[in-house]
Amino acid sequence: MLENMGEEMKKSSESPPPTSFPSLPNDLALNILARISLIHRPTLSLVSKSFRSLLASRELYATRTLIEKTESYIYVCLNSNKKNHNPRWFTLAPVPQRQRLIPIPIPNSFPNQYPESSSTVVSIDSEIYVIGGFLKGKRSRRVLVLDCQSHQWIRLPKMRVPREKAAANVIDGKIFVIGGCRSNKSKDWGEVYDIKTQTWEPLSPETPDLTAQKSVVPGRLVMGGKVYVMNGLKLNFRESVCLVGIDKNVLCQIFVRNGKLLWRDANEEVECWTKVWGLEELSSNYLVSVVNLCGGGRVMVWWKKHLKIWCAEISFERRGFEELLGFVECSKSVFTFEGWDSGFDFFMHSAIVTH
């Protein structure tokens, strides 16, 4: 009897075997994974197929949103070959010491014909919408969405009217698309896409949701980081800008023209672009694009030098009413073209995505 008791005590003193992570209930596994930065996603995805599935799931994004652990990432689309149209999406790795452009895998769902140019891009949460543009020299009604969780492409219902260089923005969870068509009919002026019902409806110029958009500057429409000149029902694309809050009461438009960074007060009716001072270390580079960063009143500028793509993060300080100082917080080479030159028009689109 004593011998049996000794064996039982020995067994009870032994620690139980550890539970493997994949054997945890899905809810618990999601709760743990949601608290880990997506920087570690490539490593975690190697653990098992179930891990890869969880990391690409909408449930993980929903859990991260619920516990306020989402992160913002910059996605860019580059035309990697100036002779043959070959667009490719990349994400900018968030690790400062190893920041570089990481190509998005090309799945079977990638469209055979990607818009040649003039498409419009907006993002909602972890999805990027590519709207209209030219296909085989004609305006397109097509709308594509890139799910940045699974990196799969999805075709959405087509727009009512073919469009290129349309104005687009997300308002109250719906995508408003304006202009970019040949028609002068008011019913074709714009349309709105309801994500929940997956339907397009005509959009009137008098829609209340657009009033605030048009009031930035009379006769202008600022949507999705682009400025359009309004002439009746006609909408002409003017330039891509970043709206940056310098302080509580100052909103500036930041813009690249002829390779230089310019700015203007967004509330001034008179259009007067002025040089951003303090960027001497970038003066030898021909800037090609500027991208908003999430919060903090900063932007990221892009340029190409030889076969390398560079980017720099810039913060701002207002000096009086007529000067804006820029400060280069960091700059780095993030991509190298392999064996050929892409030209200066390599930068097609950018979007801020949350995971």
Q: Phi then psi for 137, rounded to 5 degrees?
A: 80, 5
What is the value of pTM for the model shown? Answer: 0.81
* C-alpha to C-alpha distance for 228 and 210, rounded to whole angstroms: 13
Nearby residues of 17 by Cβ (< 8 Å), 6 or more positions away: none
Structure letter (DSSP) for residue 210: G
Q: Phi then psi for 33, rounded to 5 degrees?
A: -60, -35
What single letter denotes the amino acid at residue 108?
A: N
Radius of gyration of the CA atoms of the chain, in A: 24
Per-residue pLDDT, 222: 61
Nearby residues of 185 by Cβ (< 8 Å), 6 or more positions away: none
Q: What is the DSSP string of 111-125?
A: -SS---B--EEEEET
Q: Are 102 and 121 in contact (CB under 8 A)?
A: no
Angle of helix 26-33 versus helix 58-66 axis, rounded to 10: 60
Nearby residues of 303 by Cβ (< 8 Å), 6 or more positions away: 259, 282, 285, 286, 287, 288, 309, 310, 311
Question: Cα–Cα distances in Å, from 331 out to 74, 154, 303, 310?
Answer: 15, 35, 11, 7
Q: Which residue shows structure tokens 């029902």?
A: 233
Per-residue pLDDT, 12: 45
What's the angle, vertex CA 103, arms to CA 79 and CA 303, rounded to 5? 50
Q: Are 145 and 129 in contact (CB under 8 A)?
A: yes
Q: What is the DSSP string of 323-349?
A: EEEEEEEEEEEEEE-SSS---TT-EEE
User: Helical H runs in the chain?
Assistant: 2-13, 26-33, 41-44, 49-55, 58-66, 211-214
Q: What is the DSSP string of 83-109?
A: SS--EEEEEE-S-GGG--EEEPP--TT
Report the chain (355 residues): mean pLDDT per 10 consecutive residues.
47 47 72 80 76 80 82 86 76 76 82 75 93 90 92 93 89 87 83 94 71 47 62 59 78 89 84 91 92 80 91 91 91 83 78 87
* C-alpha to C-alpha distance for 279 and 275, rounded to whole angstroms: 10
Q: Which of 270, 265, 279, 331 is nearest to 302 (CA)?
A: 331
Question: Cα–Cα distances in Å, from 307 out to 85, 342, 343, 348?
Answer: 18, 8, 9, 17
Q: Are 273 and 286 in contact (CB under 8 A)?
A: no
